[in-house]
Amino acid sequence: MTDHPTGAGALHVADPWTRPGWYTETLHGGAAQGFPVSEVRFRDHTDLQDLVIFETPVFGKVMALDGVIQTTTADEHVYHEMMAHVPLLAHGAAADVLIVGGGDGGMLRRVLMHPGVKRCTMVEIDRAVVDLSLAQLPEISAGAFEDPRTDLVIADGCRYVAETDRRFDVIIIDSTDPIGPGAVLFTETFYADCKRCLKPGGVFVNQASVPFLQGEELAMIVRNLRPSFADVTAYVGAVPTYYGGLMTFGWASDDPSLRTVPAETIAARYRAAGLATDYYTPALHAAAFALPAFIDRIVHAG
């Protein structure tokens, strides 16, 4: 078992292969989820992470990094649609977008569905995740890496935002959990650098855990965002493979009205962009900011 001290408590990831024929994720101390494995398509260490891609009967192809499920072909749309379309349609005129992480390309694909986006820069630390996703999970990126608006940078996202002179309308942190190379993407310093890289009226979102099991992680994210942004909250979505109930997406901007854009305005923007979605709807967009009481308490504590 590996312990990963994060400042949000310790995440405990045990060997996922101990039960024959199954992949078992034990990210959280008190719960686990298992997948029967029909076929292991790839299993190796990249320079940075342990990467595995396997087939399952229900979730299709599954990618895991360091023992933690990242994405599956069956439910990737939930996470990617909610993290791309909510900030982009709330902003309404995003032309320059930054994704940090997101090696599978699913976020890139959803961002590029917006015709107003002129350039999407994706800063991914591990080229092997991009290469393996292109080879084994091409349906997730669906050609997005070939789009002329794509600007792929292989680098540490933390370092990139600390050093770049570029400015963005929307920043999306599609990261791993605060384990290994992803840990730096949950710090106050990183969030301050993201703020510096946002244009006025810009929006920041990040993957912010499943709070029923990772309440301390959400609390840490909110605590570290607050010094840099006037308006910090979260919105929710239900991703089947991120078990433990609703997951949260962190939301930060300096303009509180961006998260209360009327549903009719969002619907008009959705139609104008010509979007087709399987989870996201404009009505769900508005509803996603209504938080269950226990999540609201975490977000608004202190």
By CB under 6 A, name the binding residues for ligand SAM: 65, 70-71, 79, 100-104, 123-126, 129, 156-158, 174-176, 181-182, 184-185, 207
Among 242, 226, 220, smallest CA distance to 5 is for 220
Nearer to ligand SAM by Cβ, of 131 and 264: the residue is: 131
Nearer to ligand SAM by Cβ, of 86 and 266: the residue is: 86
Classified as helix, coil or strand, 264 is helix
**Angstrom distance (rounded) from CA 121 to CA 227:** 26
Nearer to ligand SAM by Cβ, of 129 and 225: the residue is: 129
Q: How far is the CB of 186 from ligand SAM (least distance, A)?
A: 10
**Alpha helices (runs of H) in 55-126, residue ranges in sequence order:** 76-91, 106-112
Please report, for residues 1, 152, 210, the alpha-carbon distance to residue 124 in angstroms, rounded to integers and kept in the order given: 27, 8, 23
Cβ–Cβ under 8 Å, residues 34 and 22: yes
76: tokens are 């990737």
Q: How far is the CB of 62 from ligand SAM (least distance, A)?
A: 11
Nearer to ligand SAM by Cβ, of 81 and 126: the residue is: 126
Q: How far is the CB of 44 from ligand SAM (least distance, A)?
A: 14
Nearer to ligand SAM by Cβ, of 186 and 269: the residue is: 186
The DSSP secondary-structure symbol of 127 reads: H
Number of H helices, E strands in the chain: 10, 15
Torsion of CA 145, 150, 152, 156, to 10 degrees: -120
Which residues, 6+ apart, have CB-to-CB distance to 91 below 8 Å? 169, 170, 201, 202, 203, 258
Q: How far is the CB of 199 from ligand SAM (least distance, A)?
A: 21
**Residue 262 CB-density burial (10 A; 0-12 exposed, 13-18 middle, 19+ buried):** exposed
Q: How far is the CB of 106 from ligand SAM (least distance, A)?
A: 8
Q: How far is the CB of 286 from ligand SAM (least distance, A)?
A: 23
174 is catalytic: yes
Torsion of CA 177, 182, 185, 186, to 10 degrees: 40
Classified as helix, coil or strand, 71 is strand
Among 56, 58, 72, smallest CA distance to 22 is for 56
Among 126, 174, 177, 193, the one annotated catalytic = 174
Nearer to ligand SAM by Cβ, of 184 and 267: the residue is: 184
Residues with a catalytic annotation lie at 174
